[in-house]
Each structure stands twice: as C-alpha cells, then as structure tokens.
Amino acid sequence: MANSQVLFSFSDGVAELTLNRPEVHNAFDDNIIEALISHLEIAADLPDLRVLILRSAGKNFSAGADLAWMRRMADNSHSDNLQDAHRLARLMQLLNDFNRPTIALIQGVAYGGAVGLAACCDIVIASDASKFCLSEVRIGLIPAVISPYVIRAIGERQARRYFISAEPFSAQQAQDYGLVHEVVAEDQLQANADTMISKLLQNSPQGMHAAKQLIQAVSQQTIDDSLIADTANRIADIRVSPEGQEGLSAFLEKRPPAWIKE
C-alpha cells in the first residue's frame, strides 16, 4: 500500500517502518492503521528479513489517535465503530505476533494507542526525555484494544493507576514498570538500536521466532504436566531442526553459524 505517511525500507536483513506525519505528531487514523497492517503482512513474508524497527519522524513518536479520525468515528454507527476497532486490534495482534524480533524507538511523546504499539514490540528503547500517557479517559474513552498488551507490559497494578488517572509518566518510570527496556539520550537512540540489531543478527532466526512463540505459550500458564510436555517437545523439535543442528555444530566446531553474515 503506497502511503507517504508510513514509510517502509528494507536493507541487509533489517526493515524499518516509520510513522511519517510529524506535522500532527504522528497521530494515526484508519489510513495509517491500514498502511501499517499492509506493511507488516508483506514484511512477515520477506525471507531475508531478520529484524523489524518501528520508529517515527520528527520530535514525537506518536500522539495517539488523530482527532479528525475520532471526530469522524463519533458520528458513525456502532457497527462502523466495531469494524474500525477490529482493524486496530488486527494491527496490534500482527505487531505483537510478528515472526521476527521487533524494536520500537521512542522519542518525545507516546500517547494512547502509541503506548500499545510500544507494548507490542519485543524491545523498546526510549529517549530519556520521552513521555508516555494512557490518556483515553480524559475524553470519555478507554484504552480497550491495546489493554491486553499494555497490561502484560506494565502489570495490573500500574494499569489500575494509569488507565484511570491519565497521568503522563516518564521514560524512567516506563522502564521501571516494564514497558521500556533501555533509556538513553535522544541522540543515542540510533546508536543503541544499531548495537541491539548487531546482537540480534548473531542469533538464529528460527531460534528467535521459536523463543517468541515459547513466551506466548508459557506466559501465565499453570505449570502442570501439559505445559511441561509442551516445553519438552519444543526443545526436542528445535534440536533436530536444520538450524538447530547448524547452531550446535558451529558451537562445537568453534566457528560462526551459517546465519551470521560477514
């Protein structure tokens, strides 16, 4: 989908999705959502893709939902609003379940649905000056579609405060709550992203995908015979897979595995 408001690039195994509406603080609407969905679906099928970066142009990551879009949806029927919400839910699910590692780079503000985008990424690196806010209740709404991902990231206790208070919280607080992994100076965002990318490119693509699936399968599950059997099957499967065999052979032979490019 051609859309200058969402840019997509791909080089040397790394794809970048960039929100490109700096004039409105990268607020998103239904067109942006559809463009992001389209790019994620296409990216997921790129055989050489190793890492996906989500970022934005300008001084702010995203102010959340576009005001004109919200005004338009307020005039629509319940059925239209339900369909619209399902598309946002589709975006969050695609990003959360993406089959390669995802990194979000956050500068400036990340409000409303933008907090959901961050929560759906595997790794979040934020500027020390960035701010986060779940601001929906200020205008009589709730962070419904993003809530499963945000609550998993920050926990129920913090959600009970910030979902109802709509208070902004700092990058350092976001790190303390589990939403952000690294807080760095804004001019170091790219350098830290590059360092993380280089680390990820050392790892087995299949292994990282399987690790993401493992987390979803195990998280918050009762540790019982069924879960134990599932985890045993997972490690047995990957040990005998071609990439698992290559990784073990490379380790024993003290050489780089085939997925590491010179």
Q: Is residue 74 part of a domain?
A: yes
Give the pair of three-digit tokens for residue 114. 């933008």
> Three-state SS across 19-50?
ECCHHHCCCECHHHHHHHHHHHHHHHCCCCCC
Assess whether 10 and 135 both reside in one domain.
yes
For CA atoms 160, 163, 167, 173, give the dihedral sign: positive
Burial class (CB in 10 A: 0-12, 13-18, 19+), 255: exposed
Assess whether 113 and 49 both reside in one domain.
yes
Checking DSSP bridges between strand 131-133 and strand 169-170, what pairing results, if any?
antiparallel
Assess whether 247 and 145 both reside in one domain.
no
Assess whether 82 and 157 both reside in one domain.
yes
Assess whether 155 and 169 both reside in one domain.
yes
Assess whether 145 and 42 both reside in one domain.
yes
Assess whether 227 and 169 both reside in one domain.
no
Q: Is residue 135 part of a domain?
A: yes
Q: Is residue 163 part of a domain?
A: yes
Calculate the CA dihedral of residues 226, 227, 229, 232 and round it to 10 degrees. 170
Q: Is residue 262 part of a domain?
A: no
Spatial neighbors of 35 by CB under 8 A, at least 6 apart, are: 1, 3, 5, 6
Q: Is residue 151 part of a domain?
A: yes
Domain with 120 in it: what CATH number? 3.90.226.10
Q: Is residue 185 part of a domain?
A: yes
Q: Is residue 258 part of a domain?
A: no
Please state the pTM of the whole predicted model: 0.92
Task: Please give the pLDDT value at position 2.
Answer: 52
| Residue pLDDT tens, the chain, 262 long | 456 999 999 999 999 999 999 999 999 999 999 999 999 999 999 999 999 999 999 999 999 988 888 888 888 888 888 898 899 999 999 999 999 999 999 999 999 999 999 999 999 999 999 999 999 999 888 999 999 999 999 999 999 999 999 999 999 999 999 999 999 999 999 999 999 999 999 999 999 999 999 999 998 888 989 988 988 888 888 888 988 898 889 888 989 999 887 6
Half-sphere CA count of 89, side-chain side, radius 13 A: 10
Assess whether 24 and 54 both reside in one domain.
yes
Q: Is residue 260 part of a domain?
A: no
Task: Please give the pLDDT value at position 73.
Answer: 81
Assess whether 82 and 153 both reside in one domain.
yes
Q: Which domain holds residue 165?
A: 6-200
Assess whether 70 and 112 both reside in one domain.
yes
Assess whether 109 and 235 both reside in one domain.
no
Half-sphere CA count of 239, side-chain side, radius 13 A: 6
164, 183, 200: which is the final residue of a domain? 200
Look at the block and give the residue holding tokens 């004109």. Answer: 68
Assess whether 176 and 196 both reside in one domain.
yes
CA neighbor of 219 nearest in space, from 141, 148, 145: 148
Number of domains in the chain: 2
